[in-house]
Amino acid sequence: MPTLPELFADLPEPFRDAYDPAAPWALLGEPLDAVLAALPSSAIAIATSPDSHLVGDRIAIGKGTRIAPGVVIEGPVWIGENVSFRPGAYVRAGCWIGDGVTVGANSEIKHSILFPGAAAPHLNYVGDSILGARVNLGAGTVLSNFRHDGGQIDLRLDDGGKLPSGRRKLGAVLGDRVATGCNSVLHPGVVVGRETQIYPGVMLRSGIYPARSLVKLIQNQQVDPRRV
């Protein structure tokens, strides 16, 4: 069994006892389902606007959270305190969103766990993923979660082997303070160690990436004179 990189300094209380460092994505299964199933029908601690839309049952929203016009939030969902939802954000059913998270304009979150302070602030797709504390996604970052053939998602290993995830839908597991550059795309089944930076435009293949690294895209550019 390969050793995964250091990911999280701490875990939110609902997930601490269920965490398996050898398979962090397992939190997206029964542990997340159990947390959401235990929510009351409604526990909304803020005033909501008719310009935003709360759909379904078991929606919990903490104090200080701000929901802009045009936001759609589907239950079941747990949302902490002082979360910011900017115009056009879409949170699909089955999410856990920690304190101080930012879900930005026209960003979509689907069946994911966002640790406190994480940010998906501009035109992001976060599918079946875990974002560690203070992760920041650059504008246009996509965390893809599904293979075209619908098969199980395996993580590629450096020796050519594969680490089975046991899941047909799995995006990325990003450790604390990972940052992605604009228009980067992470293929299904990516684990990135904490404090790693991913440069703009990178297409990151399924696999395991070490902590405190730089992931760069090396391009060869050519500039030629125009022909009239």
Q: Give domain limits for the chain.
A: 13-215
Whether residue 133 has pLDDT greater than 80: yes
Rounded mean pLDDT, 50-63: 95
What's domain 13-215's superfamily in CATH? Answer: Hexapeptide repeat proteins (2.160.10.10)
State pLDDT tens for residues 137-183: 999 999 999 998 999 999 999 888 999 999 999 999 999 999 999 99
Rounded-to-integer distance, Cα 113 and Cα 51, Å: 26
The pLDDT of residue 1 is 65
Contact 24, 130 (CB under 8 A): yes
The pLDDT of residue 128 is 98
| Three-class secondary structure of residue 127 per DSSP | strand
| Residue 122 among the catalytic residues | yes
- Catalytic residue of the set 53, 111, 122, 187: 122
State pLDDT tens for residues 69-79: 999 999 999 99
Among 21, 75, 84, which Cα is nearest to 53's? 75
The model's pTM is 0.95
State pLDDT tens for residues 162-173: 999 999 999 999
Residue 24 burial class via C-beta count within 10 angstroms: exposed 0-12, middle 13-18, buried 19 and up:
buried
The pLDDT of residue 212 is 98
Among 126, 136, 144, 133, which Cα is nearest to 190's? 144
